[in-house]
Amino acid sequence: MFIKKNNDKRILLVHPLGYQAARADRDISRLANIMAPLGLLSISAYLESHGIQTDIIDCFALPDSDDRIGEHIREHQPAYVGLTCTTSAFWDSLRIARFAKEADSGLRVVLGGPHISAMREATMRAHPEIDFCIVGEGEQALVDLIAVEDDRRMMGEIPGLIYREGSEVIFNGTRKELLDLDRLPFPAYEKLAGYPSRYQLPIFNYPRTPNTCCSSSRGCTYTCSYCDRSVFGRSFRCNSAEYLYEHVSYLKTRFGIRHINFYDDQFTFNRNRVESFCTMMTNKPLGITFNCAVRAEHVDLALLRMMKQAGCWMISLGIETGDPNLLSQHRQNADLEMLAETVRDIKKAGIRAKGLLMMGLPGESVASITRSMDYVFSLPLDDFNLAKFTPFPGAPLYDHIHELGQFDEDWEKMDCMNFVFIPKGMEKEQLEKLFLEFYKAHYKRLNVLWGYATMLWKSPDSWKRFAGNFMRFLKFAISNKRIG
């Protein structure tokens, strides 16, 4: 760790919207869910703990933020602007970077996030408006970068940093010593304008408000073909049960939070910490319920019952596809019966079950989609989410995706809401039609309709939001019907 030269440095952290602000009201994902930018919140808290003043502007929550960014730069004169980039938001990040430098030509722009960690030096070479990129987790790298300021000799010693030396782009290699998550300060939720009321979990995915999301682990050891692990690699780290309990308590005490979605890839990967956490939540109740995501290999009925007693309200389970041959091509332990048994156990424990699927994987066909529908509708799922497969940079499939079908690499559309990849033997119109049929068939099922009806008393705020946005939801449904 470097010693900071002074405490006058200030950084503005920006979460880009990813498209033109005029389109925000037509974005169905924003209507259903606005999630706090957890990565930026963690970075902000860590920088503040090292004497570096930070501010956050979340353009996804407040789409008309260009004026706010410009005014903030002119008033506070930050030395750095840091932007987090998904693939779909990359071009908007560059637009904001140029806009920021027009407001103050002396600003230095730092980019991080999954797209940067996957593309690395190529990003810097192609875009001179970027001064620095950070690969992997950003907390310590940003502290070190701000500490050395303009001492170019020291920049070569910062793991994870990409910078320019004249016309040459230099990458220092990935950071080997990763942070102990229990030593991190709680994320700087207070930096978000309108938190927590402006941030809401997906409709019908929570019982009470205010609610929020938080992260208690980083990484995943599995090697699914479609998953980008370029930020944290194939490692797994998690907070201890004690830290997690204190984090939940803090959210309740400071912000009045009543429900939390743990935004972890594998919440139950470390069984001992989950059991300990559940014991604490049961013996010293905080009056908070929670959701999480699991893999079938890491839960059983005994653990699920402990989680229910601790306040678990809903569990999301990655299914991806109900076709066994297709599933075996893309993930480990492709056991559909194990997945089905896990769904049944979740229900036995009294927890809502949500299935996570995708359509359009390489090898997909009309027959495999039909098998997926039959499989999903045979399960006692309360809810499901069907994503449109997107080949992200950093995923194992990405390097040879053009051999597996037609890929329109339009980064702005790479958000799992568009069919940018068409598997061999299929047509885009075919996929769009089947996608709509999948959802329509789900919502026509009597048990599903009854389940949503029960949300009138299980999640009254969800129905209030749905009613308030009914016309916008209807316009979205009609536009998708026209596509199909």
- My answer on whether 258 and 384 are in the same domain is yes
169 φ/ψ sector (left φ>0, alpha ψ -120 to 50, else beta)? beta
Residue 190 domain-assigned (yes or no): no
- My answer on whether 167 and 208 are in the same domain is no
Residue 178 domain-assigned (yes or no): no
More confident residue, 283 or 235: 283
Q: What's the pTM?
A: 0.94
- In this prediction, residue 483 carries a pLDDT of 38
Nearest to 211 by CA among 179, 283, 259, 251: 259
Tell me: pLDDT of 245 over 90. yes
Q: Which residues of 322-349 are buried (b: 16+ CB within 10 A; e: fewer)?
A: bbeebbeebbeebebeebbebbebbbeb
What are 366's two structure tokens?
């009309």
Tell me: pLDDT of 424 over 50. yes
Tell me: pLDDT of 28 over 90. no
What does the pLDDT look like over 166-198, one tens digit per residue? 889 999 999 988 999 999 999 999 999 999 999
Tally of CB atoms within 10 A around 380: 13
Task: Indicate which CATH number applies to the domain containing 101.
Answer: 3.40.50.280
- My answer on whether 72 and 210 are in the same domain is no
Q: Where do the H-state alpha helices sit in 186-300?
A: 241-255, 271-283
- My answer on whether 266 and 158 are in the same domain is no
- My answer on whether 282 and 352 are in the same domain is yes
Query: Rounded distance, CA 292 to CA 273, Å?
Result: 14
CA 348, 354, 360, 366 dihedral sign is: positive
- My answer on whether 153 and 21 are in the same domain is yes
- In this prediction, residue 407 carries a pLDDT of 97
CA 86, 89, 95, 99 dihedral sign is: negative
Residue 442 domain-assigned (yes or no): yes
Q: Among 64-68, 120-124, 141-145, which is the least confidently predicted range?
A: 64-68
CA 61, 64, 70, 76 dihedral sign is: negative
User: How far, in Å, are 173, 182, 218, 232, 377 from residue 124 at the CA level?
Assistant: 15, 33, 26, 21, 47
Tally of CB atoms within 10 A around 434: 19
- My answer on whether 152 and 206 are in the same domain is no
- In this prediction, residue 5 carries a pLDDT of 41
- My answer on whether 247 and 166 are in the same domain is no
Residue 4 domain-assigned (yes or no): no
Cis peptide bond N-terminal to 202, omega within 30? no
- In this prediction, residue 477 carries a pLDDT of 56
With a pLDDT cut of 90, the percent of the chain lying above it is 83
- In this prediction, residue 475 carries a pLDDT of 64
- In this prediction, residue 22 carries a pLDDT of 79
Tell me: pLDDT of 2 over 70. no
From 171, 193, 213, give the residue that closes a domain.
171
- In this prediction, residue 395 carries a pLDDT of 93
Query: Rounded distance, CA 68 to CA 91, Å?
Result: 19
147, amino acid identity: A
- My answer on whether 62 and 166 are in the same domain is yes
- In this prediction, residue 6 carries a pLDDT of 40
Nearest to 314 by CA among 415, 451, 411: 451
Tell me: pLDDT of 334 over 60. yes
- My answer on whether 295 and 436 are in the same domain is yes
Q: Which residues of 447-477 are buried (b: 16+ CB within 10 A; e: fewer)?
A: ebeebbeebeebbebbbebbeebeeebeebe
Contact 119, 93 (CB under 8 A): no
With a pLDDT cut of 70, the percent of the chain lying above it is 95
Task: Indicate which CATH number applies to the domain containing 363.
Answer: 3.80.30.20
What are 428's two structure tokens?
């885009």
Residue 147 domain-assigned (yes or no): yes
Q: What are the residues whose beta carbons fall under 8 Å from the beta carbon of 301, sequence distance 6 or more?
A: 345, 348, 349
What are 235's two structure tokens?
């490692």
Tell me: pLDDT of 458 over 60. yes
- In this prediction, residue 8 carries a pLDDT of 57
Q: What is the mean pLDDT of residues 427-444?
A: 95
Query: Rounded distance, CA 228 to CA 115, Å?
Result: 9
Average pLDDT, the chain: 92
Tell me: pLDDT of 422 over 60. yes
Tell me: pLDDT of 3 over 70. no
Q: What are the residues whose beta carbons fall under 8 Å from the beta carbon of 235, sequence distance 6 or more?
A: 178, 218, 219, 221
In the three-class reduction of DSSP (H, G, I as helix; E, B as strand; rest coil), residue 117 is classed as helix
Q: What is the mean pLDDT of residues 249-267?
A: 97
Nearest to 392 by CA among 152, 86, 142: 86
Residue 191 domain-assigned (yes or no): no
What does the pLDDT look like over 389-402, one tens digit per residue? 999 999 999 999 99
- My answer on whether 392 and 431 are in the same domain is yes
What does the pLDDT look like over 33-43, one tens digit per residue? 899 999 999 99
Q: Which residues of 189-209 are buried (b: 16+ CB within 10 A; e: fewer)?
A: bebbeebbeebbbbbbbbbbb
What are 218's two structure tokens?
């980083």
Tell me: pLDDT of 95 over 80. yes
Can you list the positions of beta strands (E) in 255-351? 259-262, 289-294, 312-320
What does the pLDDT look like over 463-476, one tens digit per residue? 999 888 776 666 65
Q: What is the mean pLDDT of residues 341-350?
A: 98
Residue 161 domain-assigned (yes or no): yes
What are 378's two structure tokens?
């045979």
Residue 364 domain-assigned (yes or no): yes
Give the chain's domain count.
2
Q: What is the mean pLDDT of residues 67-93?
A: 95
Query: Rounded distance, CA 465 to CA 456, Å?
Result: 12
Q: What is the mean pLDDT of residues 339-350?
A: 98
Query: Rounded distance, CA 315 to CA 346, Å?
Result: 8
- My answer on whether 127 and 217 are in the same domain is no
From 120, 153, 171, give the residue that closes a domain.
171
Confidence class of residue 480 from pLDDT cuts 50, 70 and 90? low
What are 115's two structure tokens?
């797209």
Nearest to 313 by CA among 346, 342, 266, 272: 346
Nearest to 368 by CA among 458, 418, 469, 438: 438
From 171, 193, 217, give the residue that closes a domain.
171
Residue range of the domain that includes 272: 201-483
